[in-house]
């Protein structure tokens, strides 16, 4: 594994709100469409009761099958921004996939599109998925592949991403963006704030009250 | 104002609009299994939170259970530990669990509908992407990650953005040898594996109207393979009759009649507006098989691979553009999973298998989706048909759908599978190859030892009785 596992634990609900307005780091260009979560984190690593150590198994089968796999490439050691193509994270809802990426040090993903479930899971960990155009992603992947040391910077509020001479406008779901800017991307506490209203909804659902 | 079922259910479960703009949505039914929940319970414990509505969560064990022997302790120590963790978590929280030795154990998406837990108009969440299955009964059901499992345990709610709704109409009669599996594979092939991102799929039309709940479940199950987190069918008489008398369904009498009235009004209005509409002609659908490494890469059995050139998929699978999947030698035949592991699936397969024998080089497994499916099949003598034909008759679980238990492909084996995903490595071997198809097609492949057109085996057999099927 060319990535040094991060010591930064994924967010959990005890963490105090921590606003994130800017992210920057070196990139890792992973080309390919419809990269499913079985490939990101093969199922056998889900036979466990914790997420610990998942960073060691990212793309394990793909990496073994292809020594030239970008995750084997030492030039991208320490990258924190993954650059992907369309429908990244499709398939299984396993949070083990974004957990593995987060624990390996990734803090943001830039791609052409993401599966709904993956995007939501990543957001819960504090790892935003920026959506950019095909051409912009292609240019960014080419730039990072050529100059792995280039720093990619993301402005969360404007969803603007810059790297070298590249500057692109991406999108981020507004709730994700506002969550990062306010430090409230982890919703558990927020969902419990007005628990009386939750009880009220339950009390008016006929299948709960017994028709 | 006219509305879709999606919007009606959403509004009925909306607690409030959060400052983020997302909706705080109440989850009516939360289903839990051993793989995606232990970390969620740990997070709750760590932060001293309790399960808010323990009576709205139900649990079972399916992904990691061995299917050859389900005696405890399991040989796989980790699988045993995961099962024990779920048992402890459910006991501590007061959550109902169908443990491996319970008569109601099974795949979470098989037992929910079977027990009548799944009902129209509900919101249903589970840490599993195939939760979309439950939409077959007119529920809004979707997969979530483990942090969201934690949120549902803690608050019975999720913070979500609404989806757009695409209406998918399928009209006409299915031809002989063509099943719900072929319909959904055809839909995904046309709309693409990411065509449904951002959408809930509402399936309808006279083909869906004529389908059983089992068939609708096969369709809704694979919505996620088309990128749609949610798929559903509006509840109708078929739905109500399916639910009548099930253990967790409303009691017969006034309660059931009131329920039917509510369920009926939750269905999409006739003049509801959709964000998109597409139409399929069922009569043009043929038995369908995948050739690639995602569920959208499929062809009708009579067709050559037309490959939009995906060299990676072709190379991995060992096909060339223009090759046919028909005639591909198989090593393993797997009938089971939340897509096609229900009684009707086993009945279709048994109809093909009766009087034949599995090819000598094929390892063939029948894995009922639940213990109840297993019992019902045994009561009909189906197990004897399968065993006599050389199939292994296994215990209930996810089995070879996903490579998380002892049932796995080895090396580059080719599997004819009634499951839902043909991703690289999905069936447990990094180089294993999966061909997705209907249970009847898997049964036919098991007998022939290679992929065949199931219609050839139907000659002389009882045709399926379907109103309007051309002779």
Task: Tell me the average pLDDT across A103-114.
Answer: 98
* Nearest-by-Cβ selection for B151 from A51, A179, A187: A187
* Nearest-by-Cβ selection for A115 from B22, B146, B197: B197
Closest to B205 in 3D by CA, of B114, B285, B294: B285
* Nearest-by-Cβ selection for B47 from A14, A116, A178: A14
Question: Is B430's Cβ below 8 Å from some Cβ in A?
Answer: yes
Task: Inspect the interface and report whether the beta carbons of A207 and B227 lie closer than 8 Å.
Answer: no
B132: chain A residues, CB-CB within 8 Å: none
Task: Inspect the interface and report whether the beta carbons of B194 and A115 lie closer than 8 Å.
Answer: yes
Best probe of the A interface among B157, B309, B338, B404, by most A CBs < 10 A, is B157
Q: What is the pLDDT of residue B449?
A: 98
Task: Inspect the interface and report whether the beta carbons of A211 and B262 lie closer than 8 Å.
Answer: yes
A105 found inside a domain = yes
What's the CA gap between B10 and B124, in Å, rounded? 11
Best probe of the B interface among A30, A112, A114, A120, by most B CBs < 10 A, is A120
Per the rule left: phi > 0, alpha: psi between -120 and 50, beta: everything else, B440 is alpha
- What does each C-alpha distance from A9 to A5, A95, A101 come to in angstroms? 10, 15, 12
Q: What is the pLDDT of residue A152?
A: 98
Residue A195 has pLDDT above 60, yes or no: yes
Give the relative orientation of helices B371-379 and B108-115 as an angle to the nearest 10 degrees: 70
A146 found inside a domain = yes
B281 found inside a domain = no
Residue of A nearest to B198 (CA): A116
Closest to B466 in 3D by CA, of B209, B257, B91: B209
As a residue count, chain A comes to: 211
Cross-strand pairs, B415: B332, B434
Q: Is B460 exposed, middle or buried (0-12, 13-18, 19+ CB in 10 A)?
A: exposed
A81 found inside a domain = yes
Rg (C-alpha) for chain B, rounded Å, is 21
A17 found inside a domain = no
Q: What is the pLDDT of residue B459?
A: 65
Task: Inspect the interface and report whether the beta carbons of A34 and B82 lie closer than 8 Å.
Answer: no
Best probe of the A interface among B146, B298, B407, by most A CBs < 10 A, is B146
Question: Is B161's Cβ below 8 Å from some Cβ in A?
Answer: yes
Q: What is the pLDDT of residue A6?
A: 39
Q: What is the pLDDT of residue B307?
A: 62
Closest to B188 in 3D by CA, of B164, B166, B214, B207: B166
A174: chain B residues, CB-CB within 8 Å: 20-21
A98 found inside a domain = yes
Closest to B174 in 3D by CA, of B201, B136, B212, B202: B212
CATH code for the domain in which residue B107 is found:
3.30.499.10
B185 found inside a domain = no
Q: What is the pLDDT of residue B232?
A: 99
B91 found inside a domain = yes
Residue of B nearest to A14 (CA): B47
Q: Which residues of chain B have pLDDT under 70?
A: 307, 459-471
A39 found inside a domain = yes
Q: What is the pLDDT of residue B121?
A: 98
Contact A90, B129 (CB under 8 A): no
B211 found inside a domain = no
* ipTM score of complex: 0.95
How far from each other are the two terminal CA atoms of chain B, in whole angstroms?
A: 44
| Owning domain of residue B397 | 314-457
CATH code for the domain in which residue A30 is found:
3.20.19.10
Residue of A nearest to B40 (CA): A50
| Owning domain of residue A64 | 22-172
Q: What is the pLDDT of residue A49?
A: 95
Q: What is the pLDDT of residue A13?
A: 40
Contact B268, B236 (CB under 8 A): no
Task: Inspect the interface and report whether the beta carbons of A95 and B147 lie closer than 8 Å.
Answer: yes
Best probe of the B interface among A91, A103, A128, by most B CBs < 10 A, is A91
What's the CA gap between B246 and B237, in Å, rounded? 15
Closest to A2 in 3D by CA, of A100, A109, A104, A96: A104
Domain total of chain B? 2
Q: What is the pLDDT of residue A3?
A: 44
Three-state secondary structure call for residue B204: strand
Domain total of chain A? 1
Distance of CA B42 to the CA centre of its chain: 28
DSSP state for residue B4 in the 8-state scheme: -
| pLDDT digit string, tens, across residues B166-205 | 999 999 999 999 999 999 999 999 999 999 999 999 999 9
Residue A77 has pLDDT above 60, yes or no: yes
Interface of B with A in 262-321 (CB under 8 A): 262, 294, 312
Task: Inspect the interface and report whether the beta carbons of B129 and A120 lie closer than 8 Å.
Answer: no
The pTM is what?
0.95
B195: chain A residues, CB-CB within 8 Å: none
A6 found inside a domain = no
B69 found inside a domain = yes
A195: chain B residues, CB-CB within 8 Å: 52, 155
Residue of A nearest to B46 (CA): A14
Cα distance from A144 to chain B (closest Cα, Å)? Answer: 23
Q: What is the pLDDT of residue A184?
A: 78
| CA B31, B34, B35, B40 torsion-angle sign | positive
Tokens of B445: 């492949």
Residue of B nearest to A88 (CA): B194
Residue of B nearest to A204 (CA): B12
Closest to A189 in 3D by CA, of A23, A10, A8, A11: A11
A188 found inside a domain = no
Domain final residue pick, B143, B160, B177? B160
Give the relative orientation of helices A116-125 and A96-103 as an angle to the nearest 10 degrees: 40
Task: Inspect the interface and report whether the beta carbons of A42 and B425 lie closer than 8 Å.
Answer: yes
What's the CA gap between B235 and B215, in Å, rounded? 14
Distance of CA B420 to the CA centre of its chain: 7
Residue of B nearest to A94 (CA): B145
- What does each C-alpha distance from B168 to A168, A207, B118, B121, B217 come to in angstroms? 36, 28, 22, 19, 15
Tokens of B298: 């499929």
Best probe of the B interface among A36, A37, A62, by most B CBs < 10 A, is A36
Cα distance from A164 to chain B (closest Cα, Å)? Answer: 31
């Amino acid at each position: 594994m060319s990535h040094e596992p991060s010591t930064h634990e994924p967010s959990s609900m005890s963490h105090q709100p921590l606003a994130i307005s800017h992210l920057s780091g070196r990139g890792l260009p992973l080309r390919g469409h419809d990269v499913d979560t079985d490939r990101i984190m093969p199922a056998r690593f889900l036979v466990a009761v914790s997420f610990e150590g998942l960073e060691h198994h990212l793309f394990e089968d793909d990496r073994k099958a292809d020594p030239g796999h970008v995750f084997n490439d030492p030039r991208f050691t320490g990258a924190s921004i993954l650059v992907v193509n369309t429908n990244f994270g499709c398939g299984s809802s396993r949070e083990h996939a974004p957990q593995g990426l987060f624990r390996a040090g990734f803090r943001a993903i830039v791609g052409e599109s993401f599966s709904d479930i993956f995007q939501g899971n990543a957001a819960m960990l504090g790892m935003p998925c920026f959506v950019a155009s095909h051409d912009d992603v292609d240019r960014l992947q080419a730039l990072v592949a050529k100059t792995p040391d280039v720093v990619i910077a993301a402005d969360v509020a404007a969803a603007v991403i810059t790297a070298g001479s590249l500057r692109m406008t991406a999108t981020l779901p507004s709730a994700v963006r506002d969550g990062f800017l306010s430090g409230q991307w982890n919703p558990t506490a927020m969902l419990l704030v007005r628990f009386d209203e939750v009880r009220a909804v339950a009390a008016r659902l006929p299948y709960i009250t017994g028709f | 104002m006219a509305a879709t079922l999606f919007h009606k259910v959403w509004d009925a479960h909306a607690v409030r609009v959060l400052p983020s703009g997302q909706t705080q949505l109440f989850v009516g039914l939360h289903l839990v299994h051993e793989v995606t929940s232990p970390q969620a319970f740990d997070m709750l414990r760590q932060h001293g939170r309790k399960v808010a509505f323990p009576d709205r969560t139900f649990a079972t064990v399916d992904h990691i259970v061995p299917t050859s022997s389900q005696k405890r302790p399991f040989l796989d120590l980790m699988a045993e530990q995961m099962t024990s963790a779920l048992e402890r978590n459910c006991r501590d929280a007061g959550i109902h669990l169908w443990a491996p030795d319970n008569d109601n154990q099974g795949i979470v998406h098989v037992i929910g509908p079977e027990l009548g837990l799944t009902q129209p108009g509900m919101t249903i969440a589970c840490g599993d992407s195939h939760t979309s299955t439950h939409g077959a009964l007119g529920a809004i059901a979707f997969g979530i990650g483990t942090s969201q499992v934690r949120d549902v345990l803690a608050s019975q709610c999720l913070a979500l953005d609404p989806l757009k709704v695409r209406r998918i109409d399928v009209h006409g009669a299915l031809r002989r040898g063509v099943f719900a599996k072929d319909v959904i594979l055809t839909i995904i092939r046309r709309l693409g594996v990411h065509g449904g991102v951002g959408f809930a799929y509402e399936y309808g039309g006279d083909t869906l109207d004529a389908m059983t709940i089992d068939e609708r479940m096969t369709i809704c199950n694979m919505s996620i393979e088309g990128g749609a987190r949610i798929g559903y069918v509006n509840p109708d008489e078929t739905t109500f009759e399916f639910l009548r008398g099930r253990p967790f369904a409303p009691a017969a009498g006034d309660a059931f009649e009131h329920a039917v009235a509510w369920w009926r009004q939750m269905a999409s209005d006739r003049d509801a507006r959709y964000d998109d509409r597409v139409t399929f002609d069922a009569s043009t659908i043929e038995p369908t098989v995948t050739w690639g490494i995602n569920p959208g890469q499929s062809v009708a059995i009579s067709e050559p691979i037309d490959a939009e050139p995906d060299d990676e998929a072709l190379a991995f699978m060992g096909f060339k553009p223009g090759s046919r999947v028909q005639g591909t030698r198989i090593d393993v035949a797997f009938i089971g999973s939340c897509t096609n592991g229900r009684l009707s699936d086993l009945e279709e397969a048994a109809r093909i298998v009766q009087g034949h024998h599995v090819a000598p080089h094929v390892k063939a497994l029948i894995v009922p989706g639940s213990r109840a499916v297993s019992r019902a099949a045994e009561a009909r003598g189906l197990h004897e048909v399968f065993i006599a034909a050389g199939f292994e008759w296994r215990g209930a679980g996810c089995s070879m759908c996903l490579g998380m238990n002892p049932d796995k492909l080895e090396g580059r084996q080719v599997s004819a599978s009634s499951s839902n995903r043909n991703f690289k490595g999905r069936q447990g071997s990094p180089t294993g190859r999966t061909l997705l198809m209907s249970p009847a097609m898997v049964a036919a492949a098991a007998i022939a030892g290679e992929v065949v057109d199931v219609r050839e085996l139907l000659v002389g057999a009882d045709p399926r009785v379907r109103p309007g099927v051309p002779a």
